[in-house]
Amino acid sequence: MEQHFELVHRTSFQSNSLLELQQYCTDFMVKSPEKIFKSLDFTSLPEKSLVQVIKSDDLQMKEIEVWEHVLKWGLAQNPTLLPDPNTWSDDDFKAMESTLQHCLSLIRFFSLSSKEFLERVHPYKNLLKHQLYKNLLNSHLDPDSEPTDDILFPRSIKIDGIINSKIVNNLNIISTISRRIDKMVINNKFDHLRELYLPYKFQLLLRGSRNGFTPKKFHDLCDDKYNTISFIKIKGTEEIIGGYNPIIWRSSDTWGETKHSFIFSFKEKDVKSAIISNIKNTEYALNYGTSRGPCFGCDIIIKSTISGSENYNNIYCNKNHYEKNIRDTDYNFSIEDYEVFQIKERK
């Protein structure tokens, strides 16, 4: 069926009694869009088929590519139009808008970068509803403007090899942290709506449920490693806290100084709930010691009060050396699991 997919697909959409076959074709196109969208007869797709594909959250394509292919399909349905929208009259825009009326609302325009919006969407602004275009413009020019509730989230692009975690299974969290590492996050309320930013792979150094919950094991596996991320799953909740350490961990009872560390929290795997707190007192960014695990200032403390070989028994959050409080309470809590990763650039 895959070898003769074009015939199977065309046949399936000739009858409403072949719904199961239509769904097979749609699922195949969602998982392997390059086999369809780069084919010569892509522009002959029935509108119903195109709509089914681009409405999928799991379509494995960059959003800018989805938009460009939809435009290409629309142009093929209007052969008298030139590709350059600067040559279009008002009637031309109306004709194109009519052709794409069932597709435009399915494009995740808010996922696009500012550059993509300026270069690839702005020339076609007359195709979009006035309020939609205004909201898009605000999202790029005014980071404090509020997103509306009807904005589609980025597609769930599956990328293997980014992270192997028992705590974090949402690449949106990894994207948010990666943006902050690269200083791309400036409290923008639209960041969670942008396309995933995944320039790093996360190499597992330690997992509590695998390696144990002692400071000694933490220092054995993590000392002298640069650029590490710690994730802590709080027992009995869906809350994840942690921090980024751009310098190394040490066993000596000293402080680590850096202006690039930050701590964070996520609730119920909801990226919108993220709190990211930058270091304020840089000389107290990291809290080293043989009885401590990954401690960030006095803001995230995970330690053993007995010895480095005993399990952690004193774990809490406080606002001290970082800018914000990342938890609603300062009470001690228990760890369900914790992980430490070293980040490296993807090749």
Q: What is the pLDDT of residue 338?
A: 98
How many contiguous H segments (helices) and E segments (strands) does the chain have?
11, 10
Residue corresponding to tokens 């006095």:
298
Query: How far is it, in rounded angstroms, from Cα 55 to Cα 50?
Result: 9
Tokens of 227: 């650029």
Q: What is the pLDDT of residue 227?
A: 97
- Residue among 317, 294, 293 at smallest CA distance from 305: 293
The per-residue pLDDT for range 148-204, each reduced to its tens digit, is: 888 888 888 777 789 999 999 888 899 999 999 998 755 567 877 888 889 999 999
Query: How far is it, in rounded angstroms, from Cα 126 to Cα 128?
Result: 5
> What is the pLDDT tens value at each position of the chain, 347 positions in all?
777 777 777 788 777 888 888 888 888 888 888 777 776 577 888 898 889 889 988 888 899 999 999 999 999 999 999 999 999 999 999 999 999 999 999 999 999 989 999 999 999 999 999 999 999 999 988 877 888 888 888 888 777 789 999 999 888 899 999 999 998 755 567 877 888 889 999 999 999 999 999 999 999 999 999 999 999 999 999 899 999 999 999 999 999 999 999 999 998 666 777 899 999 999 999 999 999 999 999 999 999 999 889 999 999 999 999 999 999 887 799 999 999 999 999 87
Q: What is the pLDDT of residue 218?
A: 98
* Beta-bridge partners for 232: 241, 338
| Phi, psi (rounded to 5 degrees) for 4 | -115, 40
